[in-house]
Amino acid sequence: MDQTEALARIAAALERLAPPPPGPADLSAGGAFVWRPRAGGLVPVQPAALDLDLLVGVDAQKAALLANTRSFAAGRPANNALLWGARGAGKSALVKAVHKVVAAETPALKIVEVGRDDLDSLPALLGALAGSGARVILFLDDLAFEGGSGLAKALRPALEGGLASRTDDLVVYATSNRRHLLDRDPRENVELELHWRDAAEERLALADRFGLWLGFHAMDQDVYLEIVRTLAAAEGLRDGPEMERAALEWCITRGSRSGRVARQFLLDWAARG
């Protein structure tokens, strides 16, 4: 067997092993999907989305994300959005609630959630979505990267840049406890450490690709109790001073006040009857 024939056989074997390129995604099965590349691709789901009115204490964030999403759904310019800040403050809930509202107005708006472990398959997903004809929110929940993670680089084509840059029918909405997504090294702040300053610029460049930054901060007691009362009324639970005292005791034992803690308390409160 000569070298040319051997190379041809190797090429044919590799072609058989390689998965076929994805065709256009069919998003007609619903409005929300989870990307599972190792289990069939796009899987339709029914998201547990709160009504937008039930998200308390984040009025400015609601208004900004709602306006950005309506602009995107209507085919007008829109920014990628980074929702960052305190854990349990309603970042993911806001993305889902806003999609619920705008998708009811514009059914062509879809949301596709991608897990952090599947970011390496983003090129395949973007290729499939490019021919879908839908307007897609790419939802990345609880996003963070360690060190010089290559997964961070895999995300950049979805945000902007490169020959195969993202199209106008896709925006990225990400939530993170970290404002800059990547962990930092104290040496980045030392003026003479030029190498580490370069590393800092590289890390900050990823977050800079999000045009809309929405911060979620630790809430005070009044906002926490307002959330408890609002959710209790929506669920038809008994309320009053006794419930509020119990809610305060609950958050003290957790060492935190947040919408998540309020919902966890109300599950316990409902179980008490």
Q: Read off the pLDDT band of 164 (50, 70, 90).
A: very low
Same domain? For 121 and 256 the reply is: no
Same domain? For 179 and 244 the reply is: no
Per-state percent for the chain, helix, strand, coil, to nearest 5: 50, 15, 35
Same domain? For 196 and 227 the reply is: no
Tokens 């038809």 identify what position?
236
The CATH number given to whatever domain includes residue 67 is 3.40.50.300
Q: Does a structural domain hold residue 7?
A: no
237 lies in which domain range?
A: 221-272
Q: List the strands of the sheet with 81-85, edge to edge.
A: 41-44, 32-36, 109-114, 135-140, 170-176, 81-85, 212-216
Nearest of 46, 41, 18, 19 to residue 30 by alpha carbon: 46
Q: Does a structural domain hold residue 257?
A: yes
Q: Does a structural domain hold residue 161?
A: yes
Same domain? For 57 and 149 the reply is: yes
Interstrand relation of 109-114 and 135-140 (parallel, antiparallel or unpaired): parallel
Same domain? For 80 and 200 the reply is: yes
The predicted-structure confidence for 235-261, as pLDDT tens digits, reads as follows: 998 889 999 999 999 999 988 898 999
Is residue 200's pLDDT more than 50?
Answer: yes
Q: pTM for the complete prediction? A: 0.79
Number of domains in the chain: 2
CA dist 25 and 250 (Å) reads 45
Same domain? For 171 and 243 the reply is: no
Q: Are 144 and 181 in contact (CB under 8 A)?
A: yes
Same domain? For 155 and 47 the reply is: yes
Q: Are 74 and 62 in contact (CB under 8 A)?
A: no
Q: Does a structural domain hold residue 247?
A: yes
Give how far the C-alpha of residue 248 lies from the chain's centroid of Cα atoms, to the nearest Å.
Answer: 30
Q: Does a structural domain hold residue 10?
A: no
Q: Are 42 and 27 in contact (CB under 8 A)?
A: yes
With vertex at residue 149, the alpha carbon angle to CA 145 and CA 153, rounded to the nearest 5 degrees, is 95
Q: Specify the pLDDT at position 196.
A: 45
Instruction: Output the CA–CA distances (angstroms, integers) from residue 226 to 72, 105, 213, 273, in the order listed.
Output: 32, 29, 25, 21
Q: Does a structural domain hold residue 200?
A: yes
With H, G, I as helix, E, B as strand and everything else as coil, classify residue 143. Answer: coil
- Residue where a domain stops, chosen among 193, 216, 239: 216
**What average pLDDT does the segment 170-193 reach?**
65
Same domain? For 161 and 177 the reply is: yes
Q: Specify the pLDDT at position 165.
A: 47
CA dist 156 and 172 (Å) reads 10
Q: Does a structural domain hold residue 5?
A: no
Same domain? For 82 and 124 the reply is: yes
CA dist 252 and 261 (Å) reads 10
Under the phi-then-psi rule, with left for phi > 0, alpha for psi from -120 to 50, and beta for the rest, what region is 214?
Answer: beta
CA dist 246 and 268 (Å) reads 10
Is residue 11's pLDDT more than 70?
Answer: no
Q: Specify the pLDDT at position 109.
A: 95
How high is the mean pLDDT of the chain? 80
- Residue where a domain stops, chosen among 175, 192, 216: 216
Same domain? For 260 and 154 the reply is: no
Q: Does a structural domain hold residue 114?
A: yes
Same domain? For 130 and 259 the reply is: no
